[in-house]
């Protein structure tokens, strides 16, 4: 059955679906601006030594310490690792004690923090569970586009570039814990809180030595900690990664391409020199009786052929790069057929990084079943949609950007574009991936 022949059926999905309202930012709608009066820090009760423990990456030292100085000037007792960790103890022991002795935990979320410091905390979450269960977490997004860790996706965060950021931060830090509702880190549970959220992307293990026209290789030995919380059958993850790693490498190694370019130059340069000499001779030597126009056409053709050969060889790298990305996306589509049951999708726009999102497609799959009356046909078409469109959908969801105007009312994903909305939109504009 041709995918094109069923295009009207897919387009009918658009008319069956209500389109979503524009995605609402989590900016800080739960926080109201402070009154002109300066907020009063809450009383430190028994067992509390600090109002807030701030965890941040050393690369964000300057910004964080500027905030620390402002908080302490307002009377807040701040704990941070550079000053308050006890020498001779492990980082984990120090962090555990500092969290226990603080009323709240403030996390400065930046790309470097998510890559390093949060991974340390998340990998040892059991060590801090008792501490964190009653400690409000205050995430601060240092810059737009940071992938918020899965355990923090349900929290309202503060944005550092908000003009009223300081007042909003002071307000939440000076509010007693018992007055803050739903502010603690919750154990993972699907899908209402995390549905549609981006996970940490996977980077190729050979990224540092990876040419743009070669395939990235991804580790299938260790299942990332974030996915252990989600994927029940972890062999599915390993099988999916093996599918992606099976994409064949470039047919032309770098050294082969380089030698071909040198050979083309060796062949073309003498030809160009000879052609130039002969053309000059024909135009200046009146004793040569030949059809000069014919020879000019021949020599111009040789010029074009020579330059075309060099340009074609030089463009092979770009063509190979596009081909590798395209083949990787096809492999990811096959992998998503396996992973979609685990509420995980992959996507790629390059050969070195795989985006991951946690998203439930159960309702979208049901929509396919209603659109195609034959159950076998519906399952086949859903898998084909995953094969062709799931990689692009994942990238759009992870980056929170879609290549079309956001619809005006809700689909199957609260606060976002659902999969069948995306498929319908792409098909309606003949966008194949």
- CA–CA separation, 382 vs 370, rounded Å? 12
pTM of the predicted protein model: 0.55
- CA–CA separation, 9 vs 350, rounded Å? 32
Residue pLDDT, tens place only, 293-302: 656 666 676 6
Per this entry, what is the length of the chain?
433
Q: Domain locations in the chain?
A: 1-25+361-433, 50-179, 208-338
- CA–CA separation, 372 vs 58, rounded Å? 55
Long-range contacts of 359-366 (CB under 8 A, 24+ apart): 359/191, 359/195, 359/196, 359/197, 359/397, 359/413, 359/419, 360/190, 360/191, 360/195, 361/419, 363/412, 363/418, 364/412, 364/418, 364/419, 364/420
Residue pLDDT, tens place only, 27-82: 333 434 444 456 788 888 888 899 999 988 888 999 999 999 999 999 999 999 88
- CA–CA separation, 118 vs 112, rounded Å? 9
Residue pLDDT, tens place only, 246-275: 886 545 455 565 666 666 666 666 666 666
For 193, list phi and psi in degrees, rounded to 5: -85, -45
CA 329 to mean position of chain CA atoms: 14
Percentage, residues of the chain above pLDDT 70: 63
CATH code assigned to 50-179:
3.40.50.10140
Dig out the tokens for 235 from the structure: 């062999």
- CA–CA separation, 357 vs 347, rounded Å? 9
Of 96-105, 164-173, 403-412, where does mean pLDDT reach its minimum?
Answer: 403-412
DSSP code, position 355: E
The β-bridge partners of 79 are 53
DSSP secondary structure of 263-286: HHHHHHHHHHHHHHHHHHHHHH-T
Res 377: pLDDT? 84
Res 264: pLDDT? 61
Beta carbons of 368 and 412 less than 8 angstroms apart: no
Question: Cβ of 417: how many Cβ atoms within 10 Å?
Answer: 23
Beta carbons of 336 and 346 less than 8 angstroms apart: yes
3-state secondary structure of 403: coil
């Amino acid at each position: 059955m041709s995918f094109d022949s069923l295009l009207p059926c897919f387009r009918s999905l658009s008319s069956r679906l209500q389109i979503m309202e524009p995605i609402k930012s989590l900016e800080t709608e739960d926080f109201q601006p402070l009154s002109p009066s300066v907020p009063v820090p809450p009383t430190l009760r028994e067992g509390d030594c600090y109002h807030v423990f701030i965890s941040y990456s050393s690369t964000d030292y300057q910004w964080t310490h500027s905030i620390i100085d402002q908080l302490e000037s307002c009377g807040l007792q701040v704990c941070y690792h550079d000053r308050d960790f006890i020498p001779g103890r492990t980082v984990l022991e120090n962090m555990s004690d500092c969290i226990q002795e603080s009323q709240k935990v403030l996390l400065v979320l930046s790309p470097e923090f998510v890559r390093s410091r949060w991974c340390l905390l998340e990998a040892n979450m059991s060590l801090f569970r008792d501490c964190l269960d009653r400690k409000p977490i205050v995430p601060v997004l240092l810059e737009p586009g940071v992938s918020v860790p899965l355990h923090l996706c349900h929290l309202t965060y503060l944005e550092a570039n908000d003009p009223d950021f300081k007042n909003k931060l002071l307000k939440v830090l000076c509010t007693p814990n018992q007055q803050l509702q739903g502010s603690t880190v919750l154990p993972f549970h699907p899908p209402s809180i995390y549905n549609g959220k981006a996970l940490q992307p996977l980077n190729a293990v050979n990224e540092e030595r990876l040419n743009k026209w070669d395939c990235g290789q991804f580790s299938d030995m260790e299942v990332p900690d974030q996915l252990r919380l989600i994927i029940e059958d972890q062999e599915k993850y390993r099988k999916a990664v093996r599918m992606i790693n099976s994409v064949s490498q470039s047919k032309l190694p770098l050294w082969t391409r380089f030698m071909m370019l040198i050979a083309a130059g060796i062949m073309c340069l003498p030809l160009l020199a000879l052609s130039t000499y002969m053309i000059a001779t024909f135009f200046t030597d009146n004793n040569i009786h030949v059809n000069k126009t014919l020879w000019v056409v021949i020599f111009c053709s040789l010029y074009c052929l020579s330059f075309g050969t060099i340009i074609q060889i030089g463009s092979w790298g770009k063509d190979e790069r596009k081909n590798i990305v395209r083949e990787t996306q096809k492999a990811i589509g096959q992998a998503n057929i396996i992973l979609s049951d685990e509420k995980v999708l992959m996507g790629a726009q390059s050969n070195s990084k795989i985006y991951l999102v946690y998203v439930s497609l159960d309702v979208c799959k049901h929509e396919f079943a209603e659109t195609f009356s034959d159950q076998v046909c519906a399952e086949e078409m859903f898998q084909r949609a995953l094969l062709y469109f799931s990689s692009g959908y994942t990238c759009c969801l992870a980056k929170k950007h879609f290549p079309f105007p956001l619809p005006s009312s809700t689909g199957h994903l609260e606060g976002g574009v659902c999969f069948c909305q995306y498929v319908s939109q792409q098909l309606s504009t003949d966008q194949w991936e």
